[in-house]
Structure 1
Amino acid sequence: MTNRKILHIDMDAFFASIEQRERPELVGTPVIIAGDPNKRGVVSTCSYEARTYGIYSSMPSKTAHVLCPNATFIKPRIDFYKTISNTIFDIYKEYTELVEPLSLDEAFIDVTYNKYDIKSAVEIAKEIKRKIREKTNLTASAGVSFNKCLAKIASDYRKPDGLTEITTENYQQMIDVLPIEKFFGIGKVSLNQFHQRGIFTGKDLRELSEANLVEIMHKRGSIIYQNIRGIDDREVDPDRQRKTLGKEITFAMDITTGADIRSHFEEVAVRLEKELINRKIKIKTVIIKIKYFDFSIITKRYTCDNYIQSKNEIMYCIDILLKKCKLEKDIRLIGIYTSNLLEGEEENKQLSLWDL
């Protein structure tokens, strides 16, 4: 499938860049999208200027403030960011309906056959970048290749405001020099295991057998084995569904294990129910997350026989899961996540079957 033309577009520090655009005095300064650093919370994202201080997503806001005390902290405005994201996705759809959203600021686009019959995917990427800048005054980085994996690698090659093409002629050379942490799916644990074996680059990875990779990374090992050889047959899926949905609450002060933890979970469940109803989503699997004061985390999951949506149904699952938890330390954060989602028209079809 090397005749495909796939783009991966990734907006540059999207949330932070929007805030810098709205407040020109912040341009060129460290901006951190997070809650008040004097309270609990984590970093959502940050500007490139803040990243030079070692700030990264999910870092506690207090830690970020210690590392970069002169940064401007701004509470996320997700609804505002969504309106700008919609404008950007409208640009993508000027060329094709084969647009697979990965998040508000990231998408795959299959331009093999496009509405303007433009032969060059690089030219389309240039046009998209230009239109994004003209309509939003923001920059994007683009990757162009013959599959999704390589297009994503390419978009990360020259950030910000970059454009890189990986071709059938140069793909192996470009993969071989990549640090292994650039490959999707290689996290801290597997990264340490690879480093201990003297494996640091794509070329090093390619010298391992598939069995070796599976031993370290389990199922993901077979995917990595294909990816480092430039193989990825996944289609761009415009109907890609959200795999999980969740809500969290970070406490202003750690709560003790003797506190009524159930009432706090019920508060989160109310918010989650509202989100599910608004998005017309039903769920089958409920996952609870508990983060202790020392940042250690426990998770438990329960899968229902039928799809659910209401707060009471969610709390039924929570009660089952809480009985399995030994709460031994003060708690910093709790969350409820869901998976096995049923959305939109698919939900209506399922309900009609139940009603028979």
Structure 2
Amino acid sequence: MQQTEMNGEEKQRLMEELNKKEEVQQKEKAKKTKLLKKIKGMEEKLLRGSEAMEQAMKQEQELLRTQNQLEEKRREQLKIAQELKQKEEQQLTLQKCFTSQQEELEIKGQEFQKIHVKYSQVRGELDDMQDVIHREREDLMDRIRELTREIRMKHLIIDQFIPPNEYMRIEKRAEWSDEINDWIIPNVQYTGNNCKVTKANKQEGKPDHSFFDNVVNLADDSDEEDFEQAATKRVNEAINSILIEEDEETQLNYQPPEKQSVFFRYTDDGAVREDPEEAAKKEKNKRKRLQSAKRPLTAKKKKVDMHTVDVVNMVQSMSSQQNLDQNEKKQKKQIFPKAQGLVKRD
């Protein structure tokens, strides 16, 4: 009895394990079918795009061929018309019989005027063509200048921030891709900001994925129907995270410059830069001079007319102000624009 019970329990346990394995296999099968559907859809899109491109290229080639044929026909027609016109003119000149020299001169003068008009028309067309060629040449030269500026700027950045040995190594490893029409540097996902992302994931305990797995993530069970939208969304998220990390680093490494106070004294000739300590010393010396120039207490007061006193004081102040202005002009080293609407400092 005990043996039969043990066999039944073991059988039930084995059945449960088999059911679990079947469930796991079904889930994996569903994932595989989902991935196969996505891959098939992408292949169909690529095939449709390639077929459309081939058809567009064929149509473009046919259009160019027809345009060339029409251009050749037009040239032939113009050539035939010119030949007919020349033959008609030759026949007219041969058939003409002049009665007098005056008539011959008049007719030949009219022909000369017609030829001169044609010559002026051809000359104008030639000038127009030369103007068009000159404009195109100027546009090309501007484009060449822009490209040379960009190349110089990039060379300057490379010279300043990339060591020569690293630059030579990158240049040797770079490969040209005809599919994307651009240069590709192999193993770029293991450099720069990509390494920072992997280090941050390791510190936070997140699983380490490659750059393309993080961006595209083919094995993701997302409910999004369009695979291209999901891929572009992940690319934008990766770019935004890199930009945020760079902003945080710049904010951490930022050190504000020392604030330097700059003082200016505004005169009739403009703004004059001066040191606040020197200005304080000058003011102190001026006060001392004014105190020493006062009348002592033991001196007797003289009765003087107030009008004459005012005139003398005014003359003295004007002369002292002129002396100060001359000294300031000699000491001034930089030229500043003249102040507008500012009051002179006392």
Q: Identify, as 1 or 2, the structure richer in strand.
A: 1
Tell me which interval the TM-score lies in, with the shorter structure as reference length: under 0.3
Structure (1 or 2) with the larger CA radius of gyration: 2
TM-score for the superposition, normalised by structure 2: 0.18
TM-score for the superposition, normalised by structure 1: 0.18
